[in-house]
Amino acid sequence: MLLNDALVISAILFTLGVAGVLLRRNAIVIFMCVELMLNAVNLTFVALAQTIGVGGQVFVFFVMAVAAAEAAVGLAIILAVYRHKQSVSLQNMNLLKDG
């Protein structure tokens, strides 16, 4: 069934995103993994819209809009961090812990 396949792909994509966020150190890659998770969710919305209702498709637009805004802000932050630290590795960003 197409719905089932779509949901399985979505789950795989989401898991990949989570694994990426957890395992990678590079902030840009992590950022891309976050986008991957968002798109996995989008895929679920669209797939389920066929059976449940058109609301899912509408939601996808909201998610994409927010993702765009997030990308703008997130990339700006990463850029600022890079200027400050000459690195985008999260291992170097541990100011929350003193010393």
Partner 1 sequence: MTGTAVDLIWLAPAFALLGFVLNGAVAFVRPNAKTVVSIIGAGVLLAAFAVAMVVFRAFVGLHPDEPLIYRYWSWIPVGTLQVDFAFQVDQLSLVMLMVITSVGSLIHLFSVGYMKEDPGYARYFAYLNLFVFFMLVLVLGASFPVMFVGWEGVGLCSYLLIGFWYSDAANANAGRKAFIMNRIGDFGFMVAMFMIFWSVGSLDFDTVFAHAPMALAPGGAAITAITLFLFLGCTGKSAQIPLYTWLPDAMAGPTPVSALIHAATMVTAGVYLVARCNLLFAMAPISSAVVAGVGALTALFAATIALKQWDIKKVLAYSTISQLGYMFLAVGTGAIAGGIFHLATHAFFKALLFLGSGSVIFALHRAYHHTHSHEDAQDMRNMGGLARYMPWTATVMWIASLAISGIPPLAGFFSKDEILAAAHARGHVEPVWFVFWGLGLLAALLTAFYMTRLMIYTFYGPNRTGEKEQPSLHEAPWIMTGPLVVLALLTVTGGLLNVPELYHGNAWLHHWLEPVTQSGAALIPVVPLSPSAEWLLVGIAVVTAIVGIVGAWRLLKPEALVPARSAPEERGFARVLRNKWYVDEIYDALFVRPLVWFSRVVLWQEIDQRIVDAAAVNGAARGARALGWANRWLQTGQVGTYVAVFVVGVLLVLWRALS
Enumerate the H helices of the chain as residue ranges: 2-23, 27-52, 55-85
SS3 26: strand
Residue numbers 27-66 binding partner 1 by CB under 8 A = none
By CB under 8 A, residue 95 contacts partner 1: yes
By CB under 8 A, residue 21 contacts partner 1: yes
By CB under 8 A, residue 84 contacts partner 1: no
* Tokens found for residue 23: 């395992």
Identify which of residues 57 and 90 has a Cβ nearer to partner 1 in the complex: 90
Q: Give the residues across from 72 on adjacent strands.
A: none
Residues that bind partner 1 (CB under 8 A): 18, 21-23, 25, 90-91, 93-97
